[in-house]
Structure 1
Amino acid sequence: MSDALTFDYVIVGAGTAGCLLANRLSADKGRSVLLLEAGGPDNYVWIHIPVGYLYCIDNPRTDWRFRTEAAPGLNGRSLLYPRGRTLGGSSSINGMIYMRGQRRDYEHWAELTGTSEWNWEHCLADFREHEDHYRLDAGKRMNSDTDSSAFASLHGSGGEWRVDKQRLRWDILDAFSKAAQEAGIPATDDFNGGDNFGVSYFEVNQRKGWRWNTSKAFLHPIRKQRSNLTVWTGASVQRLLIERNADGQGVCTGAVIIRDGQRVTVRAAREVVLSAGAIGSPQLLQLSGVGPRELLQRRGVPTTHHLRGVGANLQDHLQIRSVYKVAGVQTLNTQVASLWGKARIALEYAFRRNGPMSMAPSQLGIFARSDPSRPHANIQYHVQPLSLEAFGQPLHAFPAITASVCNINPTSRGTVQIRSSRPEDPPVIQPNYLSTDEDRRVAADSLRMTRHIASQAALSRYQLFEYKPGTQFQTDDELARLAGDIGTTIFHPVGTARMGLASDPDAVVDSHLRVHGIRGLRVVDASVMPTITSGNTNSPTLMIAEKAARWIAAGI
């Protein structure tokens, strides 16, 4: 270790959390920071054009291209499991939707960790710290001073993380919104105030029609100005270096990296921060001998520290896609049916940065109750003015829309486990979707809710016809099995290094995200969530990083 390169902080993973951490920790000129990214720079043009996610997912240039194991709940199917592999991580390939979740998510985290630092009020301050909301731009006017003050108490202005209004609308989505209201779901102008029950167009992480990833937001503006910040791309971490101190306790002192074909050792004088995501972080912990002893023994990895929760508690949102043929209204299917239509879309984006090339994968959002007895919204819709058989396949030749619905509080739990002792081998990912009676019941009820919305008067003029799954499926058993046939991930894995009290044998990190039993090592990414947030998970991950950066800088 004497000839190793030494930095104060070594951050593993330049994704959503890693970019913010690098920004915050390098603000102290007296501290040196090394940020490691296995992928390349985010200079691929399709990262920045919003519709480019179609060309980034399952692309080795930008995606780890993981796959799940065959899942019984999916009737034996395996799914593509995208995770960002470039500067900005998954914020470079995701759906760009700005969503915090619900107040109750964070109150529950506070209960599980035994500290108010994770409650809604404390987390709200961290969301606001880096937010730059378009409705608070200079010159923007609210309905009243009271409205402006109330909104500003919930949102931030001038931060790095831009939240923008979508730059297009669709008649069919406006009608779907009205139908949801007719079905008893209120209109809302803010999904992010603590209770997201309602219907509205999503707000997105874009700026002037371009994707706004965390590399652009937190890294590029400071990278050339801060000589104490070093960023290595193409740097694949093989394992963490964990030694024993005089008391016999494990101490993380650095990492072993492969860069430009060479093995490099780096050392952290203060901390190693693991921000490799809900798949990468548990994988790297296990490869370093931190994890369930029985698994490590089976894979031939010497156990450094037994922590049975590493790689357990995997949670994700499974979306169930209903496709409806429509008539008398334009959808993207019909817009791209001709060369002129495609050219018009390209020109619209080239000259005005709007139109279909500026759109997030989903435009209209709905949070609803899968049945009236639910005390809060427990399902989320992503409604799109298009349809296709499966991701990566061509759009249908007929006009249609897709209403994807997911259970935002699933009770199913999966695992992430190393496949072998070789870092280059992809991990074994088993989400165990629909493995509980509760999740199967919500799946059936949510499909019925979709049909209820589609049957409302606001949509009658468009003659909706249920193309997929088909009205022949009606019973709970039929609908639950159907969900297994057509359900797919919406790319929100969390929980695989969850935080909790030291007395909790399944907790991996404490309330300040320090790994139990290992000094000098924290995990800061979506893997630390004890339960999944009620909505898209990218911005909650940024909030976690904001909070952690403050603790790390203060030595807490």
Structure 2
Amino acid sequence: MTDYIIVGAGPAGCVLANRLSENPANSVLLLEAGGKDWHPYIHMPAGFAKMTKGIASWGWSTVPQRNMKDRVFWYTQAKVVGGGSSINAQIYTRGNARDYDAWEKEEGLAGWGYRDVLPYFKRAENNQRYANDFHGDQGPLGVSNPIAPLPICEAYFRAGQEMGIPFNPDFNGAAQEGVGYYQLTQKDARRSSASVAYLKPIRARKNLTVRTDVLVTRIVVEKGRAIGVELVDRPGGEKKILHAEREVIVSSGAIGSPKLLMQSGIGPADHLKSVGVTPVHDLPGVGSNMQDHLDLFVIAECTGDHTYDNYAKLHRTAWAGL
């Protein structure tokens, strides 16, 4: 039996595994449905373009979206150690400060105001450019500016300023409005995922066990308390139950976490009954109220070879990768 079972080795799971195993008295088991982050595309920053469809992804899509003329969208969710931080576009952005403040003031979430969470962002950062009121440079997560900007980017920024849009050197600083470069979760020209930043340096800890390719199908609840998890370690394999002495922590992402809770009978009771799941704990809101952003592209023809398009040729892709 282990003290803590963490379900999902995405960004939250990697951080929790790191922090909880700092105490040698704690035994920690980290479970991940996907595989290890071995693929070279994961660690090559430009490789994210290959990651969002197929490699290290669940391969999910949405149901028809009634407010988008019933379009069906590819919905990328990571299936790999490091989670989304292993396959995303590496843009380092924290969201808007006013959203955090609204959670605290309007929803009553004490401790979630922006000034409350800012110290944790700073603690996480190893920022290669900034060390100030908004940024830290002593944390494990590499954050840097793009290393290969193009002249067309600078032209775009000048054009924006000519239209009255301010240049903003830091979208995680005092304001978000403006044009400028995003900072990226990269260090030394390589992706700095949660796996690289938080998990890789501590894999030798004797009190930490990481298991990949293990699918958790249910949280085991007895007398109102989560005491373990049910899992399968291969397709069609026999289900097994692992017990946790202290806590079961669900960190399976915005889709995976509510999915697992509801499969376990934790969620809105009427809905669970309607789909044949026996309610274990009536918890309204699970599986609802998700907000996500659309990714919109503006595609324009250039007057010449000003972009990275020429690297789409196979030999140039290989050269850039090297």
Which band: TM-score by shorter chain?
A: over 0.9
Structure 1 position 323 matched with structure 2 position 299: yes
Q: Which residue pairs with 1:234 in the alignment? A: 213
CA-CA distance at 1:348 after TM superposition: 4.2
Contact 1:70 1:77 in 2 (8 A): yes
Letter in 2 for 1:281: S
Measure the CA separation in 2 of the matches of 1:194 and 1:295: 43
Contact 2:311 2:320 in 1 (8 A): no
Q: Secondary structure at the match of 2:98?
A: helix
Structure 1 position 83 matched with structure 2 position 63: no
Contact 2:142 2:192 in 1 (8 A): yes
Q: Which residue pairs with 1:252 in the alignment? A: 226
Structure 1 position 15 matched with structure 2 position 10: yes
Q: Which residue pairs with 2:87 in the alignment? A: 93
Deviation string for 1:301-355 (max 9, x for gaps)?
Answer: 101111220110011111332221121452233x147x5xx534533442xxxxx
Q: Based on CA coordinates, which of the two structures has the bigger radius of gyration?
A: 1
Q: TM-score, normalised by structure 2?
A: 0.95
Deviation string for 1:198-235 (max 9, x for gaps)?
Answer: 111111011111111111110011011x1111111011
Letter in 2 for 1:346: A
Measure the CA separation in 2 of the matches of 1:349 and 1:57: 18
User: Which of 244, 268, 290 does residue 266 from structure 2 map onto?
Assistant: 290
Deviation string for 1:234-275 (max 9, x for gaps)?
Answer: 11001001111xxxxx11111101114342211111111110
Contact 2:44 2:321 in 1 (8 A): no
Deviation string for 1:424-457 (max 9, x for gaps)?
Answer: xxxxxxxxxxxxxxxxxxxxxxxxxxxxxxxxxx
Letter in 1 for 2:40: V
Q: Secondary structure at the match of 2:139?
A: coil
Structure 1 position 223 matched with structure 2 position 203: yes
Letter in 2 for 1:288: S
Contact 1:133 1:162 in 2 (8 A): yes
Q: Which residue pairs with 1:347 in the alignment? A: 319
Q: Which residue pairs with 1:129 in the alignment? A: 123
User: Which of 192, 205, 209 does residue 185 from structure 2 map onto?
Assistant: 205
Q: Secondary structure at the match of 2:35?
A: coil
Q: Which residue pairs with 1:470 in the alignment? A: none
Q: Secondary structure at the match of 1:117?
A: coil
Q: Secondary structure at the match of 2:179?
A: strand
Measure the CA separation in 1 of the matches of 2:109 and 2:65: 36
Contact 1:12 1:37 in 2 (8 A): yes
Measure the CA separation in 1 of the matches of 2:19 and 2:222: 28
Contact 1:172 1:329 in 2 (8 A): no
User: Which of 180, 193, 205 does residue 173 from structure 2 map onto?
Assistant: 193
CA-CA distance at 1:287 after TM superposition: 0.3
Contact 1:134 1:163 in 2 (8 A): yes
Structure 1 position 300 matched with structure 2 position 276: yes
User: Which of 257, 265, 269 does residue 241 from structure 2 map onto?
Assistant: 265
Q: Which residue pairs with 1:57 in the alignment? A: 52
Closer, same or farther in 2 for the Cα pair 1:204/1:8, shift >3 Å?
A: same
Closer, same or farther in 2 for the Cα pair 1:348/1:85, shift >3 Å?
A: closer
Letter in 2 for 1:57: T
Q: Secondary structure at the match of 1:180?
A: helix
Q: Which residue pairs with 2:135 in the alignment? A: 155
Closer, same or farther in 2 for the Cα pair 1:194/1:13, shift >3 Å?
A: farther
CA-CA distance at 1:55 after TM superposition: 2.1
Letter in 2 for 1:317: H
Measure the CA separation in 1 of the matches of 2:241 and 2:277: 20
Q: How does 1:352-371 map to 2 (within 5 A)?
A: none
Instruction: Quote the sequence identity (%).
Output: 40
Measure the CA separation in 1 of the matches of 2:311 and 2:19: 44
Measure the CA separation in 2 of the matches of 1:265 and 1:208: 42
Deviation string for 1:130-164 (max 9, x for gaps)?
Answer: 1100025xxxxxxxxxxxxxx42221112111101
CA-CA distance at 1:32 after TM superposition: 0.7
Q: Secondary structure at the match of 2:218?
A: strand
RMSD: 1.6
Letter in 2 for 1:306: D
Measure the CA separation in 1 of the matches of 2:16 and 2:259: 21
Contact 1:101 1:196 in 2 (8 A): no
Contact 1:103 1:194 in 2 (8 A): no
Report the number of matched residues: 320
Q: Which residue pairs with 1:176 in the alignment? A: 156
Contact 1:13 1:38 in 2 (8 A): yes
Closer, same or farther in 2 for the Cα pair 1:237/1:348, shift >3 Å?
A: closer
The runs of 5 or more residues in structure 1 that have no matched partner are 1-5, 137-150, 245-249, 351-556
The runs of 5 or more residues in structure 2 that have no matched partner are none
